[in-house]
A and B are shown apart, each in its own frame.
Chain A
Amino acid sequence: MADKLLIGVSTQGAIVAFWHGRRIVECQTFADDAGGRAGFKQHLAQFSNVPVHIMVDAVEEDYRFETLPHATGGDRADMVGRKLKQHYRNTPYMAASFLGRESGKRRDDRFLFAALTNPELIGDWLQEIVARELPVAGIHLLPTVSEALPDKLDVKATNLLLVAQHPNGLRLTFFRDRQFRLSRLTRGDSGRAENRVRYFAEEISNTRLYLHALRTMTLDEQLAVVLIDRGDELAEVATGVTRENPSLACERLGRKDLAARLGFAESLLDASPYVIYLHLLGLKEPQTNLAPANVTVGYRRYQARRSIYAGCGVLAAAAAVWTGVNFYQMMMLRGEAEDAARQASQLAAQYSEITRQFPQAPASAENLKKTVEIAQKLRDSLHTPQRMMTLVSRALEANPAVVIREFGWKYGATEIEAEGAGKRAAGAQPPGAPPPAETPSAQRRESALIEGEIRPFRGDFRSAIVAINGFAGRLSKEPEVAEARVVKLPLDVDPSLSLSGNTLDNPEQASGSAHFKLLVVLKPAT
């Protein structure tokens, strides 16, 4: 738990307790005079960035229990704000705390309105705290702080009146069902021991009458009175009160009991009666905080700072965990990789040992095999013009008038180039398409360009063309031939070209010739 400064303020002065490790470790009192304030200022100088919780014990306090129509959120805040301004016009130190809902049909909201009606009481002290730039967490009235006391003291009475002697008077605080209902601080003097019993008994009686008048409790109801006796000096008072008023169950809690039940050193009670309440304030801050927003601005920043630093811590821890997990994974993976490398190295050594027994070879087994296989494939796939020449020879036997003058043969991805026929890649090629480049990926096949003529030729182009077409037709009937195409005829009858000649030439002495070109493409060898 964070360190705190717990400051109790009364008309007598101030007490400053330093809270560290869930307990008060240092306590110092300062009188309400110039010397006291100077000491207070000097004492605060040793603290920096420690939140301050202020508790006020004063007669100038006011409590009102009221019910308001049920509302939530901003509506409730507005309504409560208006009510506070209505009740307490002259002090900035006021607050309301929600107590619960009424049990009636309307189920109205119950609130406790509380205020310190004399702001000057803490003005000077607060000024010193603000000047030191210590964050003020809250300002509380002592009775609201003491609301935790019945639980701590383990007192189970339904109607409980806590009575304690404070420097500025007798503080009587009434709890019903452990909920704070009323508190009063008397200004009487109980200094003389002989008057103490009467004084306490009278004040308790007055309080009962007051509670009766407020209809908080009837006189017939059983009331448990607990005397907070930090100095072990009220034994006689407890006896006297019980004797004078038998309807009261009066119990006294001495030094040992108080120290034991509250959980701090007995010696701490010597410092001040407020130590009990400051201890409670240190443990838990009451709901009712009188400090206005302008006073607690420093504390809000302090809390924001702490939240941010806490966020940084969480962030750093998360990052550290994440990084740690990553590191762990990385180390595991590296370990596995090293194991794999070690095993691979061992296997490589074994393999190397085995390969020493292999016949000496100029290349790896795979490359040896592949090289031999490639060579065999190349030999097997050797193409010569023989197949094409055989086919042409067979066609010539059936067409004796055809005489071959030139024979071109090619084995490649494109056909042999023929004037007027263009170069075509082996495979489908639409007519008129531009000739493709030699592409290794295309399947190779054989093609031939045959240049020949018709002999004897006596100027009868029709017969010559029939003979040429017959020769081409004979070739194209061969099952191995994919295509046999005449690319040039003896007579070009294309209407786009001019044509000339003489029909009177003696057919027996014809000087003309019937040249042609024929392109033959074979199917790819399987």
Chain B
Amino acid sequence: MNAADLQALRIPLIVLLAALLAGAAAIYFTDRMTVAARQQLVQQQNQLKEARTRLQKSGEEKDVIVRFLDGFRQLERSGFVGEEQRINWLDALRLANQQADLFGVDYQIATQKRFQYAAELNPGQITLNQSVMRLRFRLLHEEDLVRFLNALARQGGGIFNVDLCLLRRIDTGGVIRYQPNVTADCELSWITAKVGAGAEQKKP
């Protein structure tokens, strides 16, 4: 085929090229549309499966709600669920101090952060936060520390972890009387839960 032949076949070759491009484009786009439709179908089928499972498990779900609702309400009241109830903590601190016969407790609460060990509890849609409370108090005896912490836990002002405690003996010069002998510095993490307002969540 020479240049003259190519010149003579220029228009048919352009038409061929156009047909090729148009055909390829049509196939490509319809193929993409088919793929998108297939993905949409898979998505809809998954949603259908979920809806079916949810319906099948609705009886079970009702049982779960009945079983755990009271416990959940109690946790709401105690301040574990929802916003931090720092007043509850301070009240609990005051009462624990009285019950453990301490000489007063200095406290300092830091800003709220994500609970760093949340992954251990596999919380799912629930967000766990912590606020570190630093305590400084004096003890008559080392055992008062444990009594104080147990008393604090019993107050129901929330849920906390004890992260750190440092006890130091106070030099009393050998005088024996009712006075602090030990200082304690402790760090507690008050933990709260925020339950996600997901699609499944029901309004009270």
Please give the residue numbers on chain A whose beta carbons come within 8 Å of chain B beta carbons, in ascending order: 300-301, 304-305, 308-309, 311-312, 315-316, 318-320, 322-323, 326-327, 329-330, 333-334, 336-338, 340-341, 343-344, 347-348, 350-351, 354-355, 357-372, 374-375, 377-379, 381-386, 389, 404-413, 416, 438, 440-441, 444
Closest A residue to B67 by CB, please name it. Answer: A369
Query: Which residues, 89 to 108 on B, are CB-close (under 8 Å) to A?
Result: none
Which of A347, A357, A412 makes the CB contact (< 8 A) with B55? A347
Q: Which residue of B41, B165, B200 is within 8 Å of A385 (Cβ)? A: B165
A13 to B192, CA, bound (A): 112
Which B39-71 residues have a C-beta within 8 angstroms of A?
40-41, 43-45, 47-48, 50-52, 54-55, 58, 61-62, 64-69, 71
Given the complex of chains A and B, what is the CA–CA distance between A224 and B134 in angstroms?
Answer: 130
A411 neighbours in B (Cβ, 8 Å): 161-164
**Contact status A327-B30, CB under 8 Å:** yes
Q: Which chain B positions have C-beta within 8 A of A378? A: 121, 159, 161, 191
Chain A CB within 8 A of B19 CB: yes
Given the complex, which residues of A lie within 8 Å of B34, measured CB to CB?
A: 326, 329-330, 333
B150 close to chain A: CB less than 8 A? yes
Residues of B within 8 A of A367 (CB): 124-126, 195-196, 198, 200-201
Question: Which residue of chain A lies nearest to B123 when distances are taken between CB atoms in the complex?
Answer: A374
Which B residues are in CB contact (< 8 Å) with A322? 23, 26-27, 30
Which residue in B8, B16, B64, B198 is a CB contact (below 8 Å) of A315? B16
CB distance from A346 to the nearest CB of B (A): 8
Q: CB distance A333 to B41 under 8 Å?
A: yes
Asked whether, in the complex, the Cβ of A308 is within 8 Å of the Cβ of B12, the reply is yes
Contact across chains for A363 and B64 when beta carbons are under 8 A apart? no
Partner of A360, one of B68, B195, B204: B204
Taking CB atoms, residues of chain A closer than 8 Å to B161 are 378, 381-383, 411
Q: Are B69's CB and A319's CB within 8 A?
A: no
B109 close to A (CB within 8 Å): no
Contacts of A354 in B (CB 8 A): 55, 58, 62
Query: Interface size for chain B: under 10, 10 to 19, 20 to 34, or 35 or more residues?
Result: 35 or more
Residue B86, interface by CB 8 Å = no
Contacts of A326 in B (CB 8 A): 27, 30-31, 33-34
> B16 to A311, Cβ gap below 8 A?
yes
Cβ distance B27 to chain A, nearest Cβ, rounded Å: 5
- A382 adjacent to B162 (CB under 8 Å): yes
Min C-beta distance of B192 to chain A, whole Å? 10
- Spell out B's residues near A (CB within 8 Å): 5, 8-9, 12-13, 15-16, 19-20, 22-24, 26-27, 30-31, 33-34, 37-38, 40-41, 43-45, 47-48, 50-52, 54-55, 58, 61-62, 64-69, 71-72, 75-76, 80-81, 116-121, 123-126, 128, 142-143, 145-146, 149-150, 153, 159-169, 191, 193, 195-196, 198, 200-204
B interface secondary structure, majority: helix
Residue among A360, A366, A412 with the highest chain B CB neighbour number at 10 A: A366
Q: How far apart sit A440 and B202, CA to CA, in the bound complex (Å)?
A: 32
Task: Tell me which residues across on chain A come within 8 A of B162, comparing CB atoms.
Answer: 382-385, 411
A301 to B27, CA, bound (A): 31
By beta carbon, the residue of chain A nearest B182 is A407
User: B26 to chain A: which residues have CB within 8 Å?
Assistant: 319-320, 322-323
A340 & B30 in contact (Cβ 8 Å cutoff): no
- Nearest residue (CB) in B for A386 is B146
Of all A-B residue pairs in the complex, the 10 with the closest CB atoms, nearest first, are A319-B23, A326-B30, A364-B200, A340-B44, A333-B37, A347-B51, A308-B12, A365-B64, A372-B71, A337-B41
Given A347-B55, A364-B201, A369 contacting B196 (CB threshold 8 A)? no
Q: Which residues of A contact B120 (CB under 8 A)?
A: 440
Q: With A and B bound together, what is the CA distance between A364 and B72 in angstroms? A: 11
Q: A361-B202, A367-B198 are in contact. Are A301 and B19 (CB under 8 A)?
A: no
Nearest Cβ on chain A to B117's Cβ, whole angstroms:
5
Are A407 and B47 in contact, with the CB atoms below 8 A? no
Indicate which residue in B13, B47, B164 contacts A341 across the interface (CB closer than 8 Å). B47
Cross-chain pairs A/B with CB under 8 angstroms, 9 sampled: A308-B9, A316-B23, A323-B27, A348-B51, A364-B201, A371-B72, A371-B81, A412-B163, A440-B117
